[in-house]
Structure 1
Amino acid sequence: MNKTIDINCDLGEGGKFDADIMPLVSSCNIACGGHFGDKTSVDKAVSLAKTYHVNVGAHPSYPDFENFGRKSMDLSPDELKNHLHQQIDLIEESCKDFGVKLHHIKPHGALYNDMRKSQNIADLILNVVTERNSDLILFTPPYIKFSSKIPECITLWMEGFADRAYQNDLSLVSRKENGAVLNDPDLISKRVLSMINNQEVLSLSGEIINHQFDTICVHSDTANALKILEILRANLTQNGIKIGGNYES
């Protein structure tokens, strides 16, 4: 039986190739005013997603345009929750306007990494998603820990990165380090095939780590992102792997 994998991409971040990338993925994570984005950019991205039947996700972050959401911020829990709800509201309003369903939420940048480092941050994000009062999928990094049971209305999808290097504990190598970002389309295709077929990923130090992923991300701002996705999609198809993520309009 053919396998299916969700391929996601962070879009609506001011990149030049969103319209070319959107048809190549099954889910998109749309910047919604934290690290980038406003109503105009969100509407444009949601419209593209609807055109190509791509799952729409909110991509909230710390409120930090200056650093593109890649630096942690010391905010009170209430302040951070309010910011996240405001960002997700922006996406949901656009989804209603275009007649599509908000499919998932994926934290961005430092917030995503802090979610793995801090149980308090992880719990806060889970609470925000739960408070949306709808069935949603939450994209998470490996080995995430929450202090309470996951509500039935929330599904967790474990995310892997096609174009980012991993440490042995499956934390991401800092972008400040050499080799942190991968941009060779053929190498990335082989890496993703191994992640899907063997549940294996090679760490930066050369150790093989076993882990199963529900969705795999290619960043739109990675050099060669469009070429990476074109080659990856072709190779997955050739190997009997379907790209899909339960699209709902």
Structure 2
Amino acid sequence: MHLKETAAIITGGASGLGEATARHFAAQGAQVTLLDRDATRGAQVAEETGGHFAQTDVTDEASVQAAIALAKERMGGISAAVNCAGIADAIKTVGRDGPHPLDAFQRTIDINLVGTFNVARLAAEAMQTNDAAPDGARGVIINTASIAAFDGQKGQTAYAASKGGVVGLCLPMARDLAKTGIRVMTIAPGIFMTPMLAGLGEEVQAQLAADVPCPPRLGDPAEYGRLAGFIVECGYLNGEVIRIDGALRMR
């Protein structure tokens, strides 16, 4: 696969890692359709990248089905899906206000894990009808985990559990889809300069960056986008999780 021949759907495409991926893919000649709940920002990024936008709730089956139908209509098909939609809460299992609210835990699992699976399964259904490349390839799914899946810190029970689930999806999903020529990969980012971190202030950002061994800085979302692009084009990558974290191991 080559990016210039790729038709990709990207969840969370209105900001952060998803936006950076959309911009990189589009710059390399790919067609992109952004899926996001933020209609204003999503439409703006789609216009700037020459792509398309579908307001989408990744946890809702009908919403994702409609988005995929629109993407297929506008792009003529789907050959890549990149799942970047997600949320993060910082709540301890038991804190000053009592136990971790169950609804907050459930919401994180629903968006980060169930939403990822929902999009992946429906994207795979669409990809299986693509014409096969000489090696049988029909598409690629890239899911986003986190190093919190392996190094979860205090206050990250819901987030780490959701991202651990995304890691757990990778290999069995790759095996499930192997006969149809669809690869499945997962990226586990470290601490990246996303809108969530941008609001923490420069002092906090500097403290976080100081923990990264090399290079001692926060990750640039464009680096995630380039890695996703490399995965699309490197057809022998399948069923694996790649950390992109500057050798950070959180304590």
Q: Give the alignment's TM-score, normalised by structure 1.
A: 0.40
